[in-house]
Amino acid sequence: MTNNKTLKEMIHERIVSLDVYKDPKLTEYLVKVIDELITTYKYNMGADERNKLLVREAFDLVNLSGNDRRLSEEFIKHIQTEHRTLIQSFFRMIQKVIEGYSKHTSSDARNVGSLKWAKDISKIDGYFPLI
């Protein structure tokens, strides 16, 4: 990035400056702010750096208390508005994430359910052709 600030720092500054902590539509607004910042800065960084930032930001959003449910609802509403090829690619990516995660051997009570589910679902054949 040409700027020394991290994407997370830029997002935090933007949110604090607009005092949206009291906004009842926090998830929707955060998604818009992140999208705007990523669009602005993504061409100034390499693909690996961009991918790491996007993954970290996704986990940071999920980490907000109760936000996994709200974020899921937002994805459900939005996914049908995307280009059909992008939807297919999105599910292809999710499939690879689940398959990769299912190969982990260590877990504890906090993630035993997700690991078991990933192992179970990885047994299902999925085919997502790129058309």
Contact status, residue 128 vs residue 84, Cβ threshold 8 Å: no
pTM: 0.62
Question: What is the full DSSP assignment across 66-86?
Answer: THHHHHHHHHHHHHTTS-HHH
DSSP at 109: T
pLDDT tens digits for 39-72?
A: 777 666 777 887 887 888 888 877 876 778 888 8
Q: What is the mean pLDDT of residues 16-37?
A: 65
* Greatest mean pLDDT among 17-21, 23-27, 74-78, 110-114: 110-114
Angle between helices 7-18 and 26-41 (to 10 degrees): 130
